Amino acid sequence: MRQTLLATTAIAALALAGCASVPAQLAGQNFSTLTPQLAAQQDAHGERVRWGGSIVKVEPKVDTTCFEVLSRELYADARPRPRSQSSGRFIACGKGFYDPELYRKNREITVTGALAGSERHKVGDYDYTYARVDADNIYLWPLRERRDNYSAWPYYYDPFWGPWGPYWGGWWTPPVVIVRPAPPPKP
C-alpha cells in the first residue's frame, strides 16, 4: 500500500512539474528583477533579464530584427500572463531575420538578454523611452487554444450557454466597463 502511495505521489509530482517547465533556451535563475519601466528610467546596462509580453511591432534590419513589446508579468514557465498589468514597453533586438508574418502583432514572446540602455521613439505624438535588450533568445509562444464548453449536456443547444457559463452567471462573466461622465464645464 505504501509503495503504491509513493509511486502515485511521484507520478503526480512529475506531471505537475511538467506543466510548468521553462523552455530550455529561457531557463535560468540569474535574471534581474528590474521592470522595463525602471530599466528605462535608470538607463540600465549589462544586467541580464527575462522579459515577455505581446508584440507591438517588428522591424527587420540588415543583420538584426528588433521587436517593440508590451511587457507582461510571466508565469512560472516564463510565458507572459495575457491579462496582467504591463510595466511598460521595451525593445528587444536579436541577431538574424525574424519573419514579421510569423512574429506578428499581438503574438506572445519571451526574451532573454542583456540590457543595453534605452532608446526614445514616438508612440503616436508622445516621446517614449524604451529599455533596450540585446536578446540572445527570442521565444515565440504557440497560439493559445480557445476552448468552448459545448460538451455540457443537456445545455448543448441552449443559446445562453457558452464559454461564459449558464446565463452569464457561471464561471466567467464579461468584464465590467465603467464609463464616467465628463465633468460639467466650468463657468
What average pLDDT values come out for the chain (187 residues) when binned by 10 residues?
52 52 88 94 94 96 96 94 91 96 95 95 92 96 73 51 52 63 76
Q: Which CATH code is given to the segment(s) 22-140?
A: 2.40.50.140
CB neighbours of residue 10 within 10 Å: 10
Smallest Cα–Cα separation from 58: which of 104, 3, 24, 121?
A: 104
Question: How far apart (Å, rounded) are the C-alpha atoms in residues 46 and 23?
Answer: 23
Going from N- to C-terminal start, the domains of the chain cover 22-140, 144-173
Res 49: pLDDT: 96
Smallest Cα–Cα separation from 140: which of 23, 30, 37?
A: 23
Res 149: pLDDT: 54
